[in-house]
């Protein structure tokens, strides 16, 4: 590999040419992220406005002082959803119901976009000529980071503007919007820094995703265990929660988060200045012995590629569902004694939470989102391999494209099964530790109930790979993530029944509380197979790299 040395000071550079190229680089960065940024901003603003605008019809004056006190004192509620603050205010209720979800959405988009447009473009060789021009590598990184940070800021400000537009207190709306913007900027900075430290996009994305998971865990522990509340100061999500919009309106936690973001951005620029193109600070050592395990066939190679991300996803999902099991008694007892909160949960798409079976059934439905996203991301990795030319030599061998795609799809399906099984086992183990009445069979049945929907995501991802390889992850995640958002929106706004029925989640039976909906499961599986076949046909017909 030839490193490109583009450090300033080696040769005279025309300032006007540098400004022109710099503006072009900024425009390129904006073009690369504009579609995803618009979608995230629209979802953030739309969900915030919808919940606040429907507050009177869904909650009204039903939350009296006693109900609010009971809600705030319940550790399970605080752990899963955050500390309830200002629920008697439309803005406060909106922050509690959607704040963490929207912060996670913005953070995930920020970290994935950051690693994609920096380390991903660099690994693909598309920065070679850019870095050979008048713009040094550190400036390339800085301009992309500025565009990403600006997009995260716009997302937060749009959420604030919509909350203020529907009549909530402007100060609380602004504080909430700034919190979302800072979380997005935090993970943009963390993802870009990881892209300088690690030699591959997958390693950078994995490290930043682990940071996001750790931040969520610290927030949950800090909210759920009073003696460990200080842990929230170590998490971006915890700092945003400590700002308490629409109640105390504290600026200090957000100021701390802003300082951390600035420090990460500064470290990113320092790291970018001190390395060569297409290298990272943590590059693997040369001359290590070859690792030839699982390289004898296409299916075993697919399994090898899947192993490391599968371990990470399984660990994260397992930890969450272990917590779900541990909180089963506390949550069901609270909802059994507070029927109004059970009604509110039902309006949000989580019914029958008063029993352990109903509680785990409602939360097992959420399992379709990470499992379906995992399937979509793994098929998207195949599209990335094409773009980065890692499959070119492979196809020069006696390997058919159909055989490779079938192997990748089958191995990914096995990975999905492992993830849902881990979730079922973890929830059963957690419930057993607190003596909750949940059998191993019921736990596994509840987890396996989402398999048809996750396989539908897999089929949609294969379909996109064959016909629209640029948006594989988006199309693959749509049945789960988009379907859940559609169901929640329809339930919360009183939309016509046919709107809610468009979501696959509407047709998922609450297993183990009720028997499975075998007809719906069969339709989803048939659709998944049809999508996969159509995707395979398209994949065989099109050229490599779309």
Among candidate residues 253, 283, 313, the one where a domain is terminated: 283
**Does residue 327 share a domain with residue 275?**
no
Q: How many domains does the chain have?
A: 2
**345 in a structural domain:** yes
pLDDT of 4 reads 46
Whole-number Å distance between alpha carbons of 386 and 402: 14
**7 in a structural domain:** no
**360 in a structural domain:** yes
**Does residue 406 share a domain with residue 269?**
no
Give this prediction's pTM.
Answer: 0.81
**Does residue 247 share a domain with residue 126?**
yes
Tell me which residue of 331, 365, 333 sits closest to 349, measured CA to CA: 365
**Does residue 234 share a domain with residue 172?**
yes
Q: How many residues in total does the chain contain? A: 546
Whole-number Å distance between alpha carbons of 232 and 229: 6
Neighbouring CB atoms inside 10 A of 126's CB total 13
Domain holding 409, by residue range, is 293-546
pLDDT of 8 reads 47
Among candidate residues 263, 283, 303, the one where a domain is terminated: 283
8 Å CB contact between 482 and 504: no
**Does residue 254 share a domain with residue 387?**
no
**Does residue 320 share a domain with residue 442?**
yes
**380 in a structural domain:** yes
**Does residue 319 share a domain with residue 277?**
no
**Does residue 357 share a domain with residue 378?**
yes
Among candidate residues 227, 254, 283, the one where a domain is terminated: 283
**Does residue 163 share a domain with residue 142?**
yes
**Does residue 384 share a domain with residue 250?**
no
pLDDT of 474 reads 86
**27 in a structural domain:** no
**34 in a structural domain:** no
**Does residue 365 share a domain with residue 274?**
no
Measured at the CA of 530, the angle between CA 529 and CA 535, to 5 degrees, comes to 95
pLDDT of 493 reads 65
**13 in a structural domain:** no
Specify the 3-state DSSP secondary structure of 169: coil
Fill in the DSSP letter of residue 507: G
Provide the residue-wise pLDDT of the chain in tens; the chain has 546 residues: 444 444 444 455 556 656 677 788 889 889 999 988 999 999 899 889 888 888 877 666 555 555 665 666 667 777 777 888 888 888 998 898 888 889 998 999 999 899 989 988 888 777 877 777 677 888 899 999 999 999 999 999 999 999 999 999 999 999 999 999 999 999 999 999 999 998 888 788 888 988 998 998 899 888 877 788 899 999 999 999 999 999 999 999 999 999 999 999 999 999 988 787 777 777 655 556 767 676 778 888 888 889 988 998 999 899 989 988 988 888 887 777 766 666 666 655 565 666 888 888 888 998 999 999 999 989 988 887 777 676 666 666 777 888 888 999 999 999 999 999 999 999 999 999 999 999 999 999 999 999 999 999 999 999 999 998 888 888 999 999 888 888 877 776 667 888 888 899 999 998 998 899 999 999 999 999 999 999 999 988 877 665
**15 in a structural domain:** no
**Does residue 266 share a domain with residue 311?**
no
């Amino acid at each position: 590999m030839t490193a490109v040395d583009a450090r300033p000071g080696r040769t005279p550079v025309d300032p006007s040419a540098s400004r022109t190229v710099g503006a072009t680089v900024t425009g390129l960065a904006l073009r690369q992220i504009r579609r995803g940024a618009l979608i995230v901003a629209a979802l953030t603003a739309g969900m915030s406005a919808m919940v606040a605008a429907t507050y009177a019809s869904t909650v009204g004056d039903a939350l009296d002082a006693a109900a609010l006190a009971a809600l705030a004192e319940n550790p399970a509620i605080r752990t899963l959803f955050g500390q309830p603050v200002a629920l008697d205010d439309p803005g406060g209720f909106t922050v509690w119901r959607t704040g963490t979800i929207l912060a996670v959405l913005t953070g995930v988009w920020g970290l994935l976009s950051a690693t994609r447009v920096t380390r991903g473009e660099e690994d693909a060789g598309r920065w070679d000529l850019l870095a050979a021009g008048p713009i040094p590598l550190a400036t390339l990184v800085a301009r992309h980071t500025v565009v990403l940070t600006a997009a995260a800021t716009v997302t937060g400000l749009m959420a604030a503007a919509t909350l203020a537009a529907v009549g909530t207190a402007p100060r609380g709306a602004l504080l909430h919007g700034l919190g979302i913007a800072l979380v997005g900027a935090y993970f943009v900075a963390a993802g870009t820094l990881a892209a300088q430290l690690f030699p591959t996009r997958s390693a950078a994305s994995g490290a930043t995703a682990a940071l996001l998971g750790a931040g969520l865990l610290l927030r949950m522990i800090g909210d759920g265990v009073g003696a460990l509340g200080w842990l929230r100061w170590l998490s971006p999500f915890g700092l945003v929660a400590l700002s308490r919009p629409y109640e105390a309106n504290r600026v200090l936690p957000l100021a701390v988060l802003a300082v951390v973001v600035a420090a990460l951005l500064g470290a990113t620029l320092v790291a970018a200045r001190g390395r060569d193109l297409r290298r990272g600070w943590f590059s693997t050592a040369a001359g290590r012995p070859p690792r030839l395990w699982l390289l004898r066939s296409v299916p075993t190679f697919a399994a090898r590629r899947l192993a490391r991300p599968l371990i990470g996803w399984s660990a994260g999902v397992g930890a969450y569902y272990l917590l779900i099991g541990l909180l089963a008694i506390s949550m069901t007892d609270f909802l059994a004694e507070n029927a109004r909160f059970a009604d509110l949960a039902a309006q949000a798409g989580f019914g029958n939470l008063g029993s352990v079976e109903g509680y785990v059934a409602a939360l097992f439905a959420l399992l379709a989102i990470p499992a379906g996203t995992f399937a979509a991301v793994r098929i998207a990795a195949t599209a990335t391999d094409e773009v980065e030319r890692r499959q070119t030599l492979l196809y020069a061998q006696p390997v058919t494209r159909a055989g490779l795609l079938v192997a990748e799809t089958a191995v990914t399906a096995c990975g999905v099964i492992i993830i849902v099984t881990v979730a079922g086992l973890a929830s059963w183990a957690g419930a057993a530790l607190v003596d909750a009445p949940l059998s191993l069979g019921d736990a596994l049945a509840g987890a396996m109930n989402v398999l048809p929907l996750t396989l539908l995501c897999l089929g949609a991802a294969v379909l996109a790979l064959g016909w629209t390889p640029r948006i594989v992850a988006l199309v693959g995640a749509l049945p789960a993530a988009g379907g859940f958002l559609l169901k929640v929106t329809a339930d919360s706004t009183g939309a016509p029944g046919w709107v809610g029925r468009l979501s696959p989640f509407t047709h998922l039976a609450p297993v183990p509380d009720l028997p499975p909906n075998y007809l719906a499961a069969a339709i989803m599986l048939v659709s998944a197979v049809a999508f996969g076949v159509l995707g395979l046909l398209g994949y065989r017909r099109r050229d490599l790299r779309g």
